[in-house]
Structure 1
Amino acid sequence: MASPIIAPFPASRLRRLRRTANIRAMVSERNLTPANLIWPIFVTEVPGAEGEIASMPGVERLTLDGVRRAAERAARLNIPAICIFPHSDQDSRTEGCERAWDPDNIGNLAIRAVKEEVPDLAVMTDIALDPYNANGHDGLVVDGEILNDETVEALVRMALVQAECGADILGPSDMMDGRIAALRAALEREGHKHVAILSYAAKFASAFYGPFRDAVGASGRLVGDKKTYQINPANRGEAIRCVARDLAEGADMVMVKPGMPYLDICQAVKEEFGAPTFAYQVSGEYAMLEGAIRNGWLSREAMVESLLCFRRAGCDGILSYFAPTVAEMLA
């Protein structure tokens, strides 16, 4: 893009357009509204596990009744979608991950609860095996290897059940090769052609996920690491190739995860493809900001600024645990 031509001072006084709140609003290049937000929530089936998550102050694991109240709150605040993450009973997790496609697992019960309470609220889900996997991985593991093709078959089973339960948006977060094509083909074949796929297309092997693993009960259970299927944080070109592949295979929207440390990837994806682009402001990002706010080191405006940065980088929407608080502030 060519450099703008700017008249010399004093003909050009850039502060003229910063003088009042109304003038600043008129020339704002990006805006943030509740419509740009997806609210991730955690739902538990474990008695006594509900309540605040220590490493994510202000975020709670919810019961099904709590999920219904969250859905009502989201609708009241004009947040268009929530994303459900299950916290399952540790004793029910197996190496075969069979509960992942159980219509009555806690994630699927939560989908139905939201649709019963607020039918018009969009429900996004997580497509990965880790909530039901005994070893904490997103895919099936045999002799220490995370299997790709066999995992994709399991993910298809999981996705079809979620679609049948009423999910509007499926979020494959597993990073297996070929899973978008397999999911899209299965959805079309089984009559779920209107279900959208928001692919975790550029998901990095990040150190910022720790509090999330506390929230879903995965901390300390992971055998090895996820570096054989999540992207090296050093690799920008690989991330772009992953996004290109997922769009070619039928993803309707794409996501970059984590968020703020990867704003360069967000901008590159939007400029390269023009597709609906989302970012996930992950648990570690949330915990750092919320911890600093609670200690008085940052003002609460920092949470709004952090989300506006995603919009400036080209994101159409953001998954953020701050969603309801920011929606209230914007109102």
Structure 2
Amino acid sequence: MTDFKSEKTLIQEYYNALDTAPLDQIAGVEQTYAADTYVWRGFHPFGELTNPAEVANMFWVPLRTSLTRIQRRLDIFFAGTNELDGHASTWVVSMGHLMGLFDQPWLGVKPTCKMAMLRYCAFHRVEGGKIAEQMMYFDLPHLMAQAGQSPFPVQTAAHMVQPGPMTHTGLLFEAQDPAEGQATRDAINRMVADLGQWNLGLPLEEELALSWHDDMLWWGPEGIGASYTIERYAKQHSGPFRAAFSDRSKTNHIARVAEGEFGGFAGWPNFTATLSGRFMGHEPTGKRGEFRVIDLYRREGDKLAENWIFIDLLHFWKTQGVDYLAEAAT
């Protein structure tokens, strides 16, 4: 039984140092934990960075300056080997909220001087006792909505501060049965094979029922929102999304890992598609756009029960000629 103890401990120590260090010491924390070949990927407007000091000074210091008295509220924490490289690399995954007092502007978003919660999910590739690669995805539009600056004109599903797993079993600090992780991996792979290219030929709800429980929970990003049950997910997101896009590329992930009943994947981008129909209140542009996505899943039995999704919608819309973040800053 692989417990991934050293990798999990490293990330827990990194989080503690990162969240408690004085602002002028955050760069030192990043440099201490980062490998020489460090790559950090973050949602718009950050992109890909390779210098740990830049990650600290461009992302963490401004965020910690704005969101004071920060707390990391974990809902999911697990580790696993990456099946996409033949299980050669080990990744630690966490998801939850960074909560604090929104006391100073951040990226043009106006402070509220009230509690605010930044949804995030991070994938960390651990190698030789260091973090070699990190994907830090966060729902900036969700924070904007909490500040009364929701950037998007319409949303088909529900906005809310999203909870963790219904079972409250998402923090896998201890070793898990490898058979459970394999079952989760199998369920995710079946779903990707069935749904990933939109070409199975079944009615949408029947197609979804192959991989999902009928009372599925889909915790989508701000701008789309959360849906409950297959029927409502089909109506509130999957159906409208498929109707809006064409020429979808093949799915492309950097990492796909699972442990226990939890698993997920991340890409940069996961896929591209052409906006050929109406989406999120916009008319079709005919342009291809990138979808940078993290998906996390909870499996129950042989099907998926919950899904937490992080999509860089600010980046996508910028590829379509709309800069929502710049508009919010004016």
TM-score by length of 1: 0.27
- More strand by percentage: 2
Between structures 1 and 2, the one with greater helix share:
1
TM-score, structure 2 as length reference: 0.27
